[in-house]
Amino acid sequence: MDTAYAYFVSMSIRHGLLALLQRGPSHGYHLRAEFDAATGATWPLNVGQVYSTLDRLERDGLVVQDGEPDSDGRIAYRITDVGQAELRGWFASPVSAKSAPRDELAIKLALAVTTPGVDVLRVVQTQRTATMAGLQELTRLKTRVPDDGELAWSLVLDSLVFRAEAEIRWLDHCEARVARAAAERRSAAPEQPAPATAPLPSGKWGRR
């Protein structure tokens, strides 16, 4: 159990750092502060974790050192093409309820909205579809419990059902917030006026 959790944490730090480096080259100390800012400090890292993760990312070819150390001896890192592909794969795949504590989803969305070039609504929908598939599976299990069936088992199923439902509702909420923020950005950017008659929107799911 502890091993699995440690594995999850290390994998998520890897992807988190890659997401931050997608914004541009940075060094470990700065990355740590950025990570805390992006995830609301719900999941604080220490500098040692950051540097050991950067070492492993460099070993695996996902980042490279960007130039010489600065006057304080700090080394900046830059994401490679391989690293970018790894990051795209992470954002494109839903978080599994079985493999990871659910925090990973919140972390992933927090990073998705702050990483350039990520289609946040697609990340949300990918997760929603996966969570819904799980919810359908749980509901199918429920249909096999007869009405007078084992109460305890059906209550356990219900707890999983309600948890999955809560996650989907939260995803709906995230989607609405992201869509509203995008609309506000559009209206605050007069150099890109929306075509008055265009039926097709530029955004993924379009306008309201």
Partner 1 sequence: MSAAVLRLSGVTREHGQGDVVVQALRGVDLAVLPGELVAVMGPSGSGKSTLLHLAGGLDRPTSGSVVVEGRDLATLTAAQVAAVRRRSVGYVFQDLNLLPSLTAVENVALPLELDGVRGGMARRAAREALDEVGVGALAGRFPDEMSGGQQQRVAIARALVGPRRLLLADEPTGALDSTTGEEVLRVLRARCEAGAAGVLVTHEARHAAWADRVVFLRDGVVVDQSGPAAAAESLLPAGGVG
> Could you say whether residue 19 binds partner 1 (CB under 8 A)?
no
> Could you say whether residue 187 binds partner 1 (CB under 8 A)?
no
> Could you say whether residue 129 binds partner 1 (CB under 8 A)?
yes
**Which of 176, 38, 203 minimizes the C-alpha distance to 113?**
38
Q: Tell me which stretch binds partner 1 (CB under 8 A): 13-21, 24-32, 110-118, 163-171.
A: 163-171
Q: Which two tokens stand for residue 190?
A: 């007069």
Say how many Å lie between the first and final Cα of the chain, rounded: 45
Nearer to partner 1, 14 or 108 (CB): 108
Nearer to partner 1, 172 or 184 (CB): 172
Task: State the sign of the Cα–Cα–Cα–Cα dihedral 55, 57, 62, 63.
Answer: negative
CA dihedral 42, 174, 34, 51 (to 10 degrees): 70
Nearer to partner 1, 116 or 199 (CB): 199
What residues line the site for partner 1 (CB under 8 A)?
125-126, 128-133, 135-136, 138-139, 143, 161-162, 164-165, 168-169, 172, 176, 196-197, 199, 201, 205-208
